[in-house]
């Protein structure tokens, strides 16, 4: 039996109000795309889907409403924005005041949008620590040697012992952190929320952070984040199957290649059965409907349409989800024509359309020993298996 979780009334505030001008990017870093998603979308998703978090409020900069709405398009029904202040501290206070005005919160997590990869166990540890403390922060030990320097010269070494790097989210009992923000002098040289609380004499617990929670500050951090994002993908598999009838006097398209033959495939589009199977396999891996739900067979705009358009559409759906196509395996089932002589051209064309190396595309063929509709030459069938890698949500 799972243990019954006590409701802790946790609100998360994501601070996304910065202009991010140290990153050298065209727009504030929290709205920059990372694997097809905005940076802000990652931590929003992590917090919003965490079972202990009841509500997520995003503090944005003046004039950032449009960018923020676009960044959180997947959460259009629930995303809640508040405009921030002149600096980070003023922005957090605006967020806290908004929460106080609009609901009830016993606990609050305050998180920087520039830390996109937020593992759920960090949130678990923070909320657990709030059971016994007014504040808790995720920290990591230092691994580099530390020195003090002056005028470009080493002065002396500094012991790493009892030093930690502090990450976010930082977790607080709501009343305590609101009080600290309201009471602490505005020009106190304190850079984070835990510092404010601590300066009031309140004890703050340390919990284990996570290396993935690194903050994106410089453009090089984005390269590193791209790598994490790539590693953080999971394989998904989809299957596609299609059949079209062979009729006399039509061009025969298979896997994007025109093949000289007495018969061609009949259908609303060019009836390229190989491509249709691959499209359904990709859409299946995305759990995103099928070819008919995106390209209705009754819609006149797809009459005689070249099927490569359907395949590039499916490819772009994978890209839009931050995914990549690992592999396609296509089997064409027919008695005639012989597929062997065209196999290399089919692989090359499919790889080109899918924008992947040819080594990741397999095209096979089989007959049905003259059995059934394929065996009688009445039609051609195709089946495909697609393997894609999608961000781990
Ligand atoms: Mg079809």
Residue-wise pLDDT for 69-112, tens only, equals 999 988 888 899 999 999 999 999 999 999 999 988 999 999 99
pLDDT at position 196 is 93
CA distance 390 to 393: 8
pLDDT at position 75 is 85
Match 């196999």 to its residue by tokens. Answer: 343
pLDDT at position 284 is 98
Question: 234 CA distance to ligand 1 centroid (A)?
Answer: 29
Question: 271 CA distance to ligand 1 centroid (A)?
Answer: 6
Supply angle C-alpha 115, 121, 127, rounded to 5: 90
Question: 314 CA distance to ligand 1 centroid (A)?
Answer: 14
Residue-wise pLDDT for 320-343, tens only, equals 777 889 999 999 999 989 999 999
Question: 317 CA distance to ligand 1 centroid (A)?
Answer: 19
Question: 260 CA distance to ligand 1 centroid (A)?
Answer: 20
Q: By C-alpha distance, which of 210, 235, 209, 192 is closest to 388?
A: 235
Question: 324 CA distance to ligand 1 centroid (A)?
Answer: 24
Question: 206 CA distance to ligand 1 centroid (A)?
Answer: 59
Match 């005005």 to its residue by tokens. Answer: 101
CA distance 265 to 245: 5
Question: 253 CA distance to ligand 1 centroid (A)?
Answer: 12
Residues in contact with 198: Cβ distance below 8 Å, sequence separation at least 6, in sequence order: 135, 204
- Evaluate if residue 1 carries a pLDDT over 90: no
383 three-class SS: strand
- Evaluate if residue 348 carries a pLDDT over 50: yes
The number of residues making up the chain comes to 393
Burial class (CB in 10 A: 0-12, 13-18, 19+), 100: middle
CA distance 97 to 195: 19
CA distance 96 to 82: 10
Question: 382 CA distance to ligand 1 centroid (A)?
Answer: 9
CA distance 269 to 59: 49
287 falls in which pLDDT band (50, 70, 90)?
Answer: very high
């Amino acid at each position: 039996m799972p243990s019954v979780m006590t409701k802790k009334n946790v609100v998360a505030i994501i601070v996304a109000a910065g202009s991010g001008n140290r990153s050298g990017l065209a727009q504030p870093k929290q709205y920059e795309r990372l694997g097809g998603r905005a940076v802000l979308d990652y931590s929003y998703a992590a917090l919003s889907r965490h079972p202990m978090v009841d509500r997520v409020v995003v503090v944005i900069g003046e004039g950032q409403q449009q960018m923020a709405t676009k960044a959180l398009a997947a959460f259009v029904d629930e995303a809640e924005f508040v405009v921030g202040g002149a600096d980070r501290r003023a922005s957090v206070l605006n967020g806290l005041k908004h929460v106080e005005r609009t609901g009830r919160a016993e606990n609050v997590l305050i998180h920087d949008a520039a830390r996109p990869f937020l593992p759920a166990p960090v949130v678990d540890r923070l909320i657990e620590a709030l059971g016994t403390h007014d504040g808790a922060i995720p920290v990591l030990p230092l691994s580099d040697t530390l020195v003090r320097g002056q005028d470009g010269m080493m002065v002396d070494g500094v012991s790493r012992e009892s030093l930690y790097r502090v990450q976010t989210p930082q977790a607080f009992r709501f009343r305590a952190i609101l009080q600290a923000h309201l009471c602490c002098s505005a020009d106190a040289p304190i850079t984070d929320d835990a510092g404010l609380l601590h300066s009031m004499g309140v004890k703050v617990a340390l919990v284990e952070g996570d290396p993935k929670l690194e903050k994106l500050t410089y453009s090089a951090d984005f390269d590193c984040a791209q790598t994490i994002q790539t590693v953080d993908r999971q394989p998904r598999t989809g299957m596609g199957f299609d059949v079209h009838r062979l009729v006399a006097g039509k061009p025969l398209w298979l896997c994007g290649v025109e093949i000289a033959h007495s018969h061609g495939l009949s259908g609303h589009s060019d009836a390229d059965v190989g491509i249709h199977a691959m499209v359904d396999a990709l859409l299946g891996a995305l759990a995103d409907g099928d070819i008919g739900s995106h390209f209705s067979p009754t819609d006149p705009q797809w009459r005689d349409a070249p099927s490569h358009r359907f395949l590039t559409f499916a490819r772009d759906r994978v890209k839009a989800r931050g995914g990549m196509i690992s592999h396609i395996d296509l089997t064409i089932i027919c008695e005639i024509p012989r597929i062997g002589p065209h196999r290399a051209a089919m692989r090359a064309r499919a790889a080109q359309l899918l924008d992947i190396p040819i080594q990741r595309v397999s095209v096979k063929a089989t007959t049905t020993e003259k059995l059934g509709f394929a065996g009688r030459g009445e039609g051609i069938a195709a089946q495909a298996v697609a393997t894609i890698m999608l961000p781990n949500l």
